[in-house]
């Protein structure tokens, strides 16, 4: 795996996503339910959930551009 592939596969746990994107946990839940452009979560097991950091960054950039 090269550096770019590794960078694309870095994940962040759901519990840390609200702080990363600057929203409350409730708003994160709303985004998951209502915003089709919001990144899909990745199940890591029965209870573990994460997101790809690269997808979160792309979503934030798209929101910034408007």
Output the tens digit of pLDDT for each of the chain's 66 residues. 666 665 668 999 999 999 999 999 999 999 999 999 999 999 999 999 999 999 999 999 999 987
Scan for tokens 């997101």, then name that residue.
51
| Dihedral (Cα; 21, 41, 25, 23), 10-degree rounding | 20
Report the C-alpha gap between 51 and 23 in whole angstroms. 15
Which pLDDT value is given to residue 9?
A: 80
Q: State the residue range of the domain holding 55.
A: 3-65
Q: How many domains, the chain?
A: 1
Q: Which residues contact 6 (CB under 8 A, 6 or more apart)?
A: none
């Amino acid at each position: 795996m090269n550096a770019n592939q590794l960078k694309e596969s870095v994940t962040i746990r759901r519990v840390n996503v609200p702080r990363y994107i600057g929203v409350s946990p409730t708003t994160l839940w709303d985004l998951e339910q209502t915003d089709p452009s919001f990144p899909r979560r990745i199940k890591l097991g029965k209870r573990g959930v994460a997101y790809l950091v690269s997808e979160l960054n792309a979503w934030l950039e798209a929101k910034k551009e408007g």
